[in-house]
Structure 1
Amino acid sequence: MDDNSNTDSFIWTNKSALAMKNSELYMDARLSPLSLTYYGFCLRTGNYEVKLHFAETMFTDDKTYSSLGRRIFDVYIQGKLVLKDFNIEDEAGGVGKEIIKKFTAVVNSSTLEIRFYWAGKGTTDIPEWGVYGPLISAISVNLEKGSSISTGAVVGIVVAVAFVIFVILGIVLCKGHLRHKYGMEQDLKGLDLQTGSFTLRQIKAATNNFDAANKIGEGGFGPIYMGLLLDGTRIAEKQLSSKSKQGNREFVNEIGMISALQHPHLVKLYGCCIEGDQLLLVYEYMENNSLARALFGLKECQLTLNWPTRHKISIGIARGLAFLHEESRLKIVHRDIKATNVLLDDNLNPKISDFGLAKLDEEDNTHISTRIAGTYIEL
């Protein structure tokens, strides 16, 4: 994208002397026209202090053409927006000056994720093509004192959880409630799911026992209900119906795919419920429902989307797909992108949902599939 012979390696090297402290940190910087992603793997559970070191070393403050460049980008940590429309030069008070931003990141599943996104603002071809995206000089991550869990505690927790699971499975087997869910348990076995678990009682309480007044949609998976958890969190609950076009395999596929993904333009999965004959998925609640309803729903449900908003939605969908195809550790092909599977939050930011038909794009295999997948549309 915006190929430039000076930035082929996506590293910018400053050739002039820098006066700031620890100037060696800022001699080289990572650069991209669109986005950068950093991962920290195998981290202990706890709170981490994240320091992001910035310095605008590409643009100048003289009266040359290079002084006309403006760099504006967003920063996300653990999927949360921490810097909006960040301009290094403005924040540091000039070019060639350091600015350090400090944040606390919570790590629960051994992975830390830091993302930098071009905000779609600033200059795009001044002073050169491809130099307007995010730029970062250094990152430091340190575990905060007192936030880690001891090895003994971890072992105790694992043993206790294993014991509880063993007891619950024994009870379920004795009552004969596994039925076709035995296959479900086999499918879930071995998956390192980074998601929570809900009881049927919790879901019924949140949705007022699946009250029809709380029903907000109907998909191939089944009815979708709005709910409110005891802590005040609003949720969207998908319930697998007996008439569902998707079965156990799609249910497991949905959990396995989306539980490992965190991105501003992918809907967040809070957890699932597998109890009795119920299969339920619990997602973050999206205030403006789906793009399909906003565009083609009942007249009273349609939204007035001006062209800047439509452009924002289109770019958001593209960023979500780019993450799935290229930036995620797991390369994924969604295979069912349509307006009903694009949800809109209260600010009309789009989020891709419904990963029941998604497929891993393994590097050794082609992305082309000979099996028909997706939604059938009669013309």
Structure 2
Amino acid sequence: MKKIYFLILSFLLLLSCKNDEKMEAVEAESPFVNFNIDAVPYAKLSTYSFFTGDLKNLNPSKKVIPYEPASSLFTDYALKKRFIWMPESTKATYASDDQSLNFPVGTVLIKNFYYNTVQPGNTTKIIETRLMIKKASGWIFAEYLWNDEQTEANLVTGADFTSGSSKNVTFKKTNNDIVTTAYRIPSESECYACHKLDNQPVPIGVKPQNLNVSYNYPNGLKNQLQKLVDEGYLQSYPSNIVSTVDYRDTSKPLDIRLRSYVDINCAHCHQEKARCDYRAIRLSFNKTANFANMGVCVTADEPIDQSLERIITPGNHNKSIMDYRLNSVDESMRMPLLGRTVVHDEGVELLKQWINSLNQNCP
């Protein structure tokens, strides 16, 4: 009897070992990112192995985590797929609701810009991939332009990175309007202009206030900050974060939607120690509960004409400079100055509704 038990036990142990070997083999075959901080940026996007399978499908590799801010920056109606990758055994830390997470050296923020209704044929086309890579000396920018075959994205260098370039794209909007835009591939200096804070390049969207919302991961919905904690990418975060919202969500208060919109689209310039800090307005979400920081009843530094003197004239969008600038595509007048060549109709309408809802009397 003991001999039979021994044989059964030996068989089970052997089976267990084989199963373990099989699991280890699967794990060993899992794709990992290729990253040498001294060699990046690489000449080709595929070299990083951020994505598995066909590159254009943007299927993330192991530990490449997707994310999406509550509200998205407008870029000529381009859609975006964003990802974070960090070196093994490193973590980001929380600083404040409205400051980007403190990321470790080696972090890569990946942002892909694409359209899924390119004409003719309503095809999907990725235009560019922008990386922010944190080196020991600080953040650097790497711009990758996709080829027409959508098989590779090549590092933008030389005059194109120094001066920027444009790419004509014709696409269909959700209202079926056909739009052609000279989509702007930014220069290094243009990247820096928007990402500049206290004379250093910094990320924009990866703030706790923007990530404290759920994302639909393959395994289901989860708070994005909690996901980063679970993945070992974030040390911790407080439970009382004052968060932005999706400006498209009409169930939210109008002023919160508008404040969320201007935060993601305008606050990176209109804050202390940023590009436009000489202007009167302060458009970070934590500042705009005070409507004076939004420009309500504030006389502009540079009035357009006698009918357009205030940044926001309560109850009258037609007499509000901010509305005028959001409606303009003139490079000397438009707001934001960079990142768009067409009018964001939905953003303009949101601002219009908010301005016309105000009933303050200006002195």
Structure 1 length as normaliser, TM-score? Answer: 0.23
Greater fraction of residues in strand: 1
Structure 2 length as normaliser, TM-score? Answer: 0.24
